Amino acid sequence: MGKLMKFLYSLMLIVLILLGALFLALGIDINNFANTLMEVELLRDLISNEVFVKGFFISIGVLLIIFSIIILVTLKKNSNKGFDVLIEDEKGSVLIAQRSLESSIKSSVNKFLGLETIKARAKIIDNNKLEAKILVDDYSDQAIDKLAERVREEIKTSLTNLTGLDEIKIDLKIEKKEKQKEKRENARY
């Protein structure tokens, strides 16, 4: 959320709190509140001025409508945050959490001995394609080309089982790393 939105939400909160306090005061003791307002000469002049009263209520109404529209737009924009629409038909839609896709990828990669998932990102495009980007550290002694092919197949199978989508593009980056034990042994000598 940017600075402008934080400012707008803060302003909306202040206005809503003041309106709430005003309505509470009116509801608790309306006669006493009206008498207090009438004792202050400036307020008495303003309240007796019909144009001011109409303008005041119109401005409050406009402010509340603007605040409502801002809140509605923000809620609509963020309603599916973290989710991808998978299937949308006359029965409704199925939403899958972003972390579910990423967790599926990580568990697929971690099945292989010596591999560690560093980063996994996946998103569903046009409700029929899935794109995944994975960064993996390889501590094993296996050939990368054969290992990469097996890892891709495992990830594709896992994502297909989760989503039901067949069209999956996988960008896999494997970085060869030294084994931690060998590093420690070399550091001792």
Are 139 and 115 in contact, with CB atoms under 8 Å apart?
Answer: yes
Beta-bridge partner residues of 83:
97
The amino acid present at 63, given as its one-letter code, is: L
User: With left for phi above 0 and alpha for psi between -120 and 50, is residue 114 left, alpha or beta?
Assistant: left
3-state secondary structure of 113: coil
Strand 92-97 relative to strand 83-89: parallel, antiparallel, unpaired?
antiparallel
The closest of 171, 85, 169, 79 to 124, measured between CA atoms, is 85
Q: Where are the beta strands (DSSP E) in 38-114?
A: 83-89, 92-97
User: What are the angstrom distances between the C-alpha of 100 and each of 111, 125, 153?
Assistant: 17, 16, 18
Provide mean pLDDT across the span 163-169: 86
CATH of 83-178, one of 3.30.9.10, 3.30.70.1350, 1.20.120.420, 3.40.50.2020: 3.30.70.1350
Please answer whether residues 37 and 45 qualify as being in contact, where contact means their C-beta atoms are separated by less than 8 angstroms. no
pLDDT of residue 169: 92
Give the model's pLDDT for residue 7.
78
pLDDT-based confidence at residue 145 (cuts at 50, 70, 90) = confident
Instruction: Tell me the average pLDDT across 86-114.
Output: 80
Between residues 1 and 97, which one has the greater pLDDT? 97
Query: What is the domain partition of the chain in residue ranges?
Result: 3-78, 83-178
Query: What's the CA gap between 10 and 92, in Å, rounded?
Result: 35
What residues contact residue 74 under an 8 Å CB cut-off, 6+ apart? 5
- Percent of the chain whose pLDDT exceeds 90: 13
User: How far is 84 from 97, CA to CA, in rounded Å?
Assistant: 7
pLDDT band of residue 144 (cuts 50, 70, 90) is: confident
Q: Structure pTM?
A: 0.52
Q: Check residue 19 and give its pLDDT.
A: 76
Q: What tens digit of pLDDT does each residue of 28-87 get? A: 555 665 666 666 676 677 777 778 777 777 777 777 777 777 877 776 676 555 555 566
- Report the percentage of the chain scoring pLDDT > 70: 73
pLDDT at 134: 92
